[in-house]
Amino acid sequence: MTKLMTVDDVAGYLNKPRSWVYGNWRDEKIPFRKVGQSLRCRPADLEKWLDEQN
């Protein structure tokens, strides 16, 4: 089972501030899913998203 990434994990991975991730995840279509009240992202989905950005 793959560990889901938190907003902090994604921010660190993208080298962006946490506030940027929260402020832009919808517009940038970062592949988060709501888990309860939290945003989570599968690492493979984030990699795919990054590949599509170029």
Whole-angstrom Cα distance, residue 38 to residue 27? 18
Give pLDDT, residue 2: 80
**Does any domain span residue 2?**
no
1-54 residue pLDDT tens:
789 999 999 999 999 999 999 999 999 999 999 999 999 999 999 999 999 997
Whole-angstrom Cα distance, residue 9 to residue 13? 6
**Does any domain span residue 1?**
no
**Does any domain span residue 32?**
yes
**Does any domain span residue 43?**
yes
**Does any domain span residue 31?**
yes
Domain count within the chain: 1
Per the structure, the complete domain to which residue 33 belongs is given by 7-53
Nearest to 2 by CA among 53, 45, 49: 45
Nearest to 7 by CA among 52, 53, 54, 26: 26
